Amino acid sequence: MTVLIGDDRPDTRAIRAAEAVGLAFEVHRIERPSSLEEAAERYGVAPRQLLKTLVVRRAADDHILVLLPGPAQLAWPKLRAHLGVSRLSLPDAAEAQAVTGYERGTITPFGARGGLPVLAEASIAGAGPVTVGAGAHGVSLRLDADALLAAVGAELVDLN
């Protein structure tokens, strides 16, 4: 794990967006991991503290972002019921990048295009320090879960 300060820190749209809202965070960079467990070990956190950001398509040109703890599986029936829809899907890599401005594996709610609504698994609230992508492979932000949720206007939902 490397904490990057000053000139060593990458400059991503996500980092600039987190700074713009006044969040306190650390930027970490690791070599690209091959698994969730490896990423957690390299970042020095529990797997549940690694948050993943999914892009979900409700309809053509209608997407949302979903934040989940790393090991959690999205409960599609719960998400469909919450949104009042009968069908949802994950866009392909090209569509996800077009919608968010980030390629898969780097998607984050910070600086994502389009001001997409953010839903977050309810268990993230009160989780303390978490790690979320920072818009580049192997780069993340470590920050307080509640500060993250507030900054992105996340709606808390039981999603797992």
Q: Give per-residue pLDDT as tens, 52-107.
A: 999 999 999 999 999 999 999 999 999 999 999 999 999 999 999 999 999 999 99
Model pTM above 0.85: yes
Pseudo-torsion of CA 23, 69, 60, 84, nearest 10°?
-110
- Report d(CA 98, CA 51) in Å as an integer: 21
For 2-157, which CATH superfamily applies? YbaK/aminoacyl-tRNA synthetase-associated domain (3.90.960.10)
Coil, helix or strand at residue 156: strand
Q: Is the pLDDT of residue 2 over 50?
A: no
Of the candidates 18, 64, 20, 150, which has an alpha carbon nearest to the alpha carbon of residue 28? 18
